[in-house]
Amino acid sequence: MNKIQIKTKTKNYYVFIGKDVFESFEDFIPESVSKILFLIDRNVNEKCSVLLKKIKLLNKSKYNLVIHSSEKKKNLITTQHILKYLIENNFDRRSLIVSIGGGLLGDIAGFSASIYMRGIKHIQIPTTILSAVDSSIGGKTGVNFYGIKNIIGTFYQPESVFINPAFFYSLPKIEVISGLGELIKYAIINPKLYDFYKNETTKIFFTKEVSDEVILKSIKIKADIVKEDEKEEKGIRKILNLGHTFAHGIESASNFKLKHGEAVFIGIILALIVSRKFNLIEEERILNFINDFRFITVNKSFANLDISKVVDFMRSDKKNLNGKINLVIPSKEKILIDFPVEEKVIYNVFEELSKYLKKYAIQ
Ligand code: GLY
Q: Between 35 and 362, where is the model more confident?
A: 35
Please say if the pLDDT value at position 361 is more than 70. Answer: no
- Do 178 and 115 lie in one domain? The reply is no
Cβ-in-10-Å burial (0-12, 13-18, 19+) of 137 comes to buried
Centre of ligand 1 from the C-alpha of residue 87, in Å: 30
Centre of ligand 1 from the C-alpha of residue 361, in Å: 31
- pLDDT in the model for residue 200: 65
- Do 165 and 184 lie in one domain? The reply is no
Domain-terminating residue out of 170, 193, 224: 170
- Do 153 and 253 lie in one domain? The reply is no
Mean pLDDT, range 205-234, rounded to an integer: 86
240 lines ligand 1 (CB under 6 A): yes
CA distance 128 to 107: 13
CATH code at 19? 3.40.50.1970
Mean pLDDT, range 158-175, rounded to an integer: 90
For the stretch 258-297, pLDDT in tens is 988 899 999 999 999 999 999 999 999 999 998 888 777 7
Q: In which band, very low, low, confident or very high, does the pLDDT at 302 lie, cut at 50, 70 and 90?
A: confident
Q: Which atom of ligand 1 is nearest to the CA of 139?
A: 4
Sign, CA torsion 140/115/319/265 = positive
User: pLDDT averaged over the chain?
Assistant: 91
- pLDDT in the model for residue 363: 46
Mean pLDDT, range 219-232, rounded to an integer: 96
Centre of ligand 1 from the C-alpha of residue 15, in Å: 16
- pLDDT in the model for residue 355: 86
Mean pLDDT, range 328-340, rounded to an integer: 94
Please say if the pLDDT value at position 357 is more than 90. Answer: no
DSSP letter, residue 279:
T
| 32, 180 Cβ separation under 8 angstroms | no
Range ranked top by mean pLDDT from 87-96, 260-269, 280-289, 353-362 = 87-96
CATH code at 340? 1.20.1090.10
Mean pLDDT, range 33-50, rounded to an integer: 96
Please say if the pLDDT value at position 88 is more than 70. Answer: yes
Mean pLDDT, range 91-118, rounded to an integer: 98
Number of domains in the chain: 2
Please say if the pLDDT value at position 44 is more than 50. Answer: yes
Q: How far is CA 59 from CA 26, 88, 101, 162, in A?
A: 12, 21, 17, 17
229 lines ligand 1 (CB under 6 A): no
- Do 178 and 166 lie in one domain? The reply is no
67 lines ligand 1 (CB under 6 A): no
Whether residue 183 is contained in a domain is answered as: yes
- Do 188 and 308 lie in one domain? The reply is yes
Please say if the pLDDT value at position 226 is more than 80. Answer: yes
State percent of the chain over pLDDT 90: 73
| 213, 192 Cβ separation under 8 angstroms | no
- Do 154 and 203 lie in one domain? The reply is no
Q: In which band, very low, low, confident or very high, does the pLDDT at 49 lie, cut at 50, 70 and 90?
A: very high
Q: How many CB atoms lie within 10 A of CB 10?
A: 10
State percent of the chain over pLDDT 70: 94
Whether residue 221 is contained in a domain is answered as: no
Whether residue 98 is contained in a domain is answered as: yes
Across the chain, the runs of DSSP E, i.e. the strands, are 2-7, 12-17, 36-41, 64-67, 96-101, 121-126, 140-145, 148-155, 160-163, 325-330, 335-341
Whether residue 214 is contained in a domain is answered as: no
- Do 185 and 257 lie in one domain? The reply is yes
- pLDDT in the model for residue 73: 96
Whether residue 349 is contained in a domain is answered as: yes
Q: What is the pTM of this model?
A: 0.91
Domain-terminating residue out of 170, 194, 216: 170
| 169, 221 Cβ separation under 8 angstroms | no
- Do 96 and 120 lie in one domain? The reply is yes
**Candidate from 182, 184, 237, 242 with most ligand 1 atoms within 8 A of CB, to mutate:** 237
- pLDDT in the model for residue 293: 83
Q: How far is CA 10 from CA 7, 29, 140, 224, in A?
A: 8, 19, 13, 15
- Do 150 and 202 lie in one domain? The reply is no
Range ranked top by mean pLDDT from 227-241, 248-262, 298-312 = 227-241
Whether residue 126 is contained in a domain is answered as: yes
Whether residue 110 is contained in a domain is answered as: yes
Whether residue 230 is contained in a domain is answered as: no
CA distance 23 to 207: 24
- Do 31 and 154 lie in one domain? The reply is yes
- pLDDT in the model for residue 197: 81
Mean pLDDT, range 4-19, rounded to an integer: 96
Centre of ligand 1 from the C-alpha of residue 133, in Å: 10
261 lines ligand 1 (CB under 6 A): no
- pLDDT in the model for residue 203: 61
Q: Range of 62's domain?
A: 2-170
